[in-house]
A and B are shown apart, each in its own frame.
Chain A
Amino acid sequence: MSGLPQIYTAHVFVRLKPGVNDPPGATVAAGLRDLGFDGIRDVRVGKIVDVELVAPDAATARERVNAMCEQLLTNPVIEDFEMELIEPQPLKLSDTAW
């Protein structure tokens, strides 16, 4: 189906770059050890941002979310991201403003 806008959901996984200190991660690791979990080598804490957007096709959706990541969702000085784009659902009439 080309030309018809669809609803895409992008799961954006934001992680600190390798080598960047992660004080919250180190604290969580210590907490897990305190709970008695053995073998904890490292814990890194990141975040997930789910973006739901309307786009004409997957390539455009991907491009837009990439731009969002570069401009606001991540700080490229310290963070990397990966994106998982979910198969679109057809746009229903009730989803539109017109």
Chain B
Amino acid sequence: MRAAVIVFPGSNCDTDTHHALAEVMGVPTDLVWHATPSLDGYDLVVLPGGFSYGDYLRTGAMAAQARVMRAVREAADRGVPVLGICNGFQILLEAGLLPGAMLPNACVEFRCEWVHVRVETGRTPFTASADVGQVLRMPIAHGEGNYVADRATLDELHDNDQVVWRYTDADGRRTAGANPNGSVGDIAGVCNARGNVVGLMPHPERCSETALGGADGRMVWESVLARVAA
């Protein structure tokens, strides 16, 4: 088992994610520079949060063109679990590896706070160990997490069980106040049709040990480690 955390110019959650995987979970993990042409030998690929390329043009747009993204696409095609966190999610959207797009938060504020998300499906490697309906408390920190997709795409997401997390209150209820960014359908994370490529706005690497104020993010790592080991 070996994990890759991709580093783009402007990534800023790369070492946190490396810490969560390598130190907290004990997984051999490499920081992999965006110019790397191959991801052969990796069983897990994580695109971390940050502000790659200064969010120039659109969030994630420039990083989606990086050389390593061809290797990410190949890994995804091989069935390797790929996780995009926050800016990593935005990059996967811009690369077309996940459906939909991001807009600036409806409140037009940068939201940096703890939120609750409800696990909507256990079909992805990152939620396989969770119970559907389980509520996780995780931090967010983003200005553009307002997920949007056209009606046909939303229907497809629903029909194929591709919505992975939704924002809810602590009791798992979808309320207007629980959605921090205006995301359509309170969507906090989605996956591709196959289920192995997953993106989410909250930061599991920032809540993988109790010293950080919460450890619900461990579920994401425990799920994928169990899946890769199986």
Contact = CB atoms under 8 A, between A and B. Distances in A.
A72 B146 CA distance: 20
Contacts, number: 37
Given A21-B103, A23-B182, 10 more contacts: A23-B104, A23-B106, A23-B107, A75-B58, A77-B93, A77-B100, A77-B101, A77-B148, A78-B101, A78-B148
Contacts of B103: 20-23, 78
Nearest to A19: B150
29 contacts: A21-B103, A21-B106, A21-B148, A21-B182, A22-B103, A23-B103, A23-B104, A23-B105, A23-B106, A23-B107, A23-B108, A23-B146, A23-B182, A24-B108, A26-B108, A27-B108, A72-B57, A73-B57, A75-B61, A75-B101, A77-B93, A77-B100, A77-B101, A77-B148, A77-B149, A77-B150, A78-B101, A78-B103, A78-B148
Contacts of B65: 72
Which of B65, B146, B148, B182 is packed against the most chain A CB atoms within 10 Å? Answer: B148
Interface string A71-86: 0110101100000000
Contacts of B94: 75
Interface in B156-192: 182
Contacts of A20: 103, 148
A10 B70 CA distance: 29
Interface string B104-127: 111110000000000000000000
A73 to B, nearest CB: 7
Contacts of A22: 103
A75 B148 CA distance: 12
- Among A24, A27, A75, max chain B CB count under 10 A is at A75
Contacts of B57: 72-73
Contacts of B107: 23
Interface string B36-68: 000000000000000000000110010001000
Interface string A56-98: 0000000000000000110101100000000000000000000
A23 B145 CA distance: 12
A82 B222 CA distance: 48
B44 to A, nearest CB: 27
Interface in A21-68: 21-24, 26-27
Contacts of B93: 77
B92 to A, nearest CB: 13
Contacts of A78: 101, 103, 148
B101 A72 contact: no
A22 B106 CA distance: 8
Contacts of B101: 75, 77-78
Given A72-B65, A75-B61, A77-B101, A21 B108 contact: no
